[in-house]
Amino acid sequence: MSLFYRKYLSFILFRRMFANWPSVIMDYVFGKDLIRVMFKNRSIYYLRRKDIPKIIWLSRVAEIDPNYIFVDENYNVYYSQRKLNMRFFFSTLLSYHGAIEDGGIWYLLKLNLKFLGANFSLVETFLLIHTITQRLMTGKL
């Protein structure tokens, strides 16, 4: 993937998520710790700088709807009333799919599974294939 394509894709994803995307990009580039974001539904929150790429990445991978994002006063990010673990990219994706971390052990309750670590093979094997199978069965793929 070329550098131009990645920059263009990031630009498109910022425009899709944020109503104030020019100021979000400028604050991110200039290194502000807390960035004021306005989602497309006009809800205004402050996000930590390190959480912005994870939300953008999640919008690309999982096609999340910005109307369901909520940020509390401690800058914890929630999606559809579920707290997202924003430590790593994969932990963000796992928590989006309903996994819960407790002391380094991940619990995926909807599939009744328990894991000792988060990595891409876990996400690919159990979550993405499960999601694709559900979409094929409902005809929404």
pLDDT in tens, 28-77: 999 999 999 999 888 999 999 999 999 998 888 777 888 899 999 999 99
- Rounded CA gap, 62 and 42, in Å? 21
**What pLDDT digit, counting tens, does each position of 90-137 carry?**
888 888 888 888 888 888 887 788 888 777 777 777 776 666 666 667
Q: How many C-beta neighbours within 10 Å does residue 59 have? A: 17
Task: Enter the pTM of the model.
Answer: 0.78
Amino acid sitting at position 14: F
Contact 58, 16 (CB under 8 A): no
Domain boundary assignment for the chain = 1-81, 85-141
